[in-house]
Amino acid sequence: MKKAVVMLLVVALFAAVLGFTPVRAAEGVVVQITIGSTKATINSKAVVLDQPPLIESGRTLVPFRFIGEAIGAQIGWNPGNRTVSYVLGNVNIVLTIGSITAMVNGVKTTLDVAPKILPTGRTVVPIRFISESIGAKVDWNATTRMVTVTVIAKPSWSTPIKIVLSAPFTGSGSILGEYCKDGAQLAVDEINAAGGVNGAKFDLITYDDQANASTAATVVRRALDSDKAVAIFGPNMSAAVLGVHTLAQQAKVPMLVGATSPSLRYDKTQNDYLFRLRADDGVKVAQQVKYIVEILKAKKPGIILGSDDYCTSALAVAKQAFDKYGIKIVDIENMKEGDKDVTAQVTKLKNAGIDVLVGLTHEPEAAVVMLKVRQLKLTVPIVGFSAWGVPAFTDLAGVAAIGVISVQGFNPADTDPTVKKFVDAYKAKWGKEPSDPAQCYYDGVYLLKKAIETAGSTDPVKIDEALKTVEYTGVQGLMKCDALHNFTNICYISKFNGKTWEVISKIP
């Protein structure tokens, strides 16, 4: 009894393995036939036809079995209906002998010439129609009377394009993993529903990198070695990216990140495989200072500063920016991540006579500062860095956040139709409003799709080449890779009214 069960399992296993062989597209096939000649080539290998191709009504007809096998399709012939069928990937073509009506994936199409059975008994079909229906290129050389069919190597629906997202779901600091995943998954699902990328679907695998470099390294290695991803999205935290981007470089697989530290710019990393999907902090701080000086016309800025790299790099850029305007920073007060009592700091800022408070901290510290600012009645305008423009801050600060101005990478209240379409789709699918950086991963997946289509291949090296030149207009406007490998510099200056952020200006 036991032996029989084992035998049954072995047989079932074999059947499963054999039965699931997917119908694959031929890998990079080039077929050449010449009118009137029985000599043809498939990938430069000589083949003899039993029927020479002929031209009728300006269209070239070839033996139906030959072209089917050459392009790698599954051929069907139904003598009852006199139909010829080809199945390749997710393309299904049905032709009827003597009829100019054909069916492609169930859709009726009209042919210029009908397939026919010749007096020799051979069945011939129009080569251009069949080839182009499966996405191949057809070239005609009038001099040599040669037809060249090029089938581009590409994955089919059943062999999806693997992409990996590394995002922080646990760990310290800003936990933005949900936004990253929801943005990317929305794009993947939209693209797959619309037929995928050249007929192949995206398969998105998400991992938690815990916002630290060593876990991110494990994730990236798994993506490269085990999942064989053609592209990696994230990590989202700059510290994690700094620890792993060279892995992508060595493996020659593109890495597209939402991380915003200026130290990830191309001039610092020299990594041809690293790209950034949203405006970096340097750009944002520069805009923040520009607004403070040019619009608010402030002359005596005071800064409340956090202690980690995100804050101190922002300070460096802010100092430079204020310097350029010839404005001296009147007072800088420090706080550490986790500090909850800033009575003394805010007291000192108040006494220093500042006319604007520049917030360069993370979200919880921003909330602590704003509660104290309201308590001690510091009434100057408050202009905060990107962490001051997100729900994680406004939820904690509550009404204390009303009137705060912040530089943001994304504002869901933007009335631009592309932004609105994204926000509505995101809300419909996930039941909540998107927040920075959901939009950059959403754009990123579409950007990758365009790069794959441009490259005509899912070879990561070719995708990388395409990413450097491709242009895509997404939620963040026109995205194009610049010299620093940043795809966009878009940011908003917005003011919180208690419920939403009103856009004051959108740059560019």
Partner 1 sequence: MVLSDLLQNIIGGVTVGATYGLIGLGVVFLWQSIQRINFANISSAMLAAYLFYTFYAQLHLGFLVSFVVSIAIIAAYGLALRYLVLEPINRHGGDKLEFVVATLMLCIFWLSVVKVIYGGIAKPFPPVFGEATSFVQIGSISIPSVYFWIFFVVLVLVFALHMLLQRTMIGKMFRATAQNKEMASLVGINVDMTTSLAFMLATSIVGIAGILLAPIYFVSLDLGGGPIGIKGFAAAVMGGLVDPLGTIAGGITIGLVENFSTLFISSAYKDVISFVVLVVVLIWKPRGIFNWTTKGD
21 binds partner 1 (CB under 8 A): no
For partner 1, the closer CB: 396 or 507: 396
- Site membership for partner 1, residue 344 (CB under 8 A): yes
Instruction: Choose, by CB under 8 A, the member of 95, 400, 407, 491 that binds partner 1.
Output: 400
Q: Which stretch binds partner 1 (CB under 8 A): 182-190, 214-222, 334-342, 491-499?
A: 334-342
Q: If you ran DSSP here, which 8-state letter would residue 160 be given? A: P
CB of 338 to partner 1, least distance (A): 5
Establish if 371 lies at the interface with partner 1 (CB under 8 A): yes
Query: What would the 3-class secondary structure string for 23-85 be?
Result: CCCCCCEEEEEECCCCEEEECCEEEECCCCCEEECCEEEEEHHHHHHHHCCEEEEECCCCEEE
DSSP 8-state assignment for residue 197: B
Which residues share a beta bridge with 244?
none
Q: Which of 60, 238, 345, 439 binds partner 1 (CB under 8 A)?
A: 345
Burial of 340 from C-beta contacts in 10 A (0-12 / 13-18 / 19+): exposed
SS3 call for 300: coil
* Closest CB to partner 1 among residues 170, 226: 170
Q: Does 335 bind partner 1 (CB under 8 A)?
A: yes
Q: Which stretch binds partner 1 (CB under 8 A): 133-141, 264-272, 394-402, 410-418?
A: 394-402
Provide, rounded to whole angstroms, the least separation between the CB of residue 173 and partner 1.
Answer: 8
Does 243 engage in binding with partner 1 (CB under 8 A)?
Answer: no
* Cα gap 283→33, rounded to integer Å: 57
Q: Shortest gap between Cβ of 94 and partner 1 (angstroms)?
A: 53
392 binds partner 1 (CB under 8 A): yes
One residue of 137, 336, 421, 427 binding partner 1 per CB under 8 A:
336
Provide the minimum distance between the beta carbon of 156 and partner 1 in the complex, in angstroms, as a whole number: 40
Contacts 24+ apart (CB under 8 A), 112-118: 112/57, 112/58, 112/59, 113/56, 113/57, 113/58, 113/59, 113/61, 115/61, 115/64, 115/84, 116/61, 118/51
Residue whose C-alpha is closest to residue 92's, from 82, 105, 83, 79 = 105
Q: How far is the CB of 31 from partner 1 (least distance, A)?
A: 57
395 binds partner 1 per the rule CB under 8 A? yes
Nearer to partner 1, 364 or 384 (CB): 364
Return the residue of 122, 284, 374, 449 that touches partner 1, per CB under 8 A.
374
Residue 341 engages partner 1 in binding (rule: CB under 8 A)? yes
181 lines the binding site for partner 1 (CB under 8 A) = no
Choice from 135, 160, 171, 477 touching partner 1 (CB under 8 A): 171
Whether 378 and 402 have beta carbons less than 8 Å apart is answered as no
Residue 329 in the binding site for partner 1 (CB under 8 A)? no
Determine contact, residues 179/435, Cβ cutoff 8 Å. yes
C-alpha neighbours within 13 Å on the C-beta side of residue 494: 24
The answer to whether 211 and 462 have CB atoms below 8 angstroms apart is no
Could you tell me the CA-to-CA distances from 428 to 55, 191, 212, 500 in Å, in that order? 54, 16, 32, 19
For position 29 contacting partner 1 by CB under 8 A, the verdict is no
| # chain residues binding partner 1, by CB under 8 A | 35
Q: Does 158 bind partner 1 (CB under 8 A)?
A: no
Sign of torsion over alpha carbons 12, 15, 17, 19:
negative
Q: Does 404 bind partner 1 (CB under 8 A)?
A: no
Q: How far is the CB of 394 from partner 1 (least distance, A)?
A: 10
Position 399 contacts partner 1 (CB under 8 A): yes
For residue 227, give Cα distances in angstroms to 11, 359, 491: 29, 42, 34
Phi, psi of 44 (to 5 degrees): 70, 0
Site residues for partner 1 per CB under 8 A: 170-175, 333-336, 338-341, 343-345, 347-348, 351, 363-364, 367, 371, 374-377, 392, 395-400
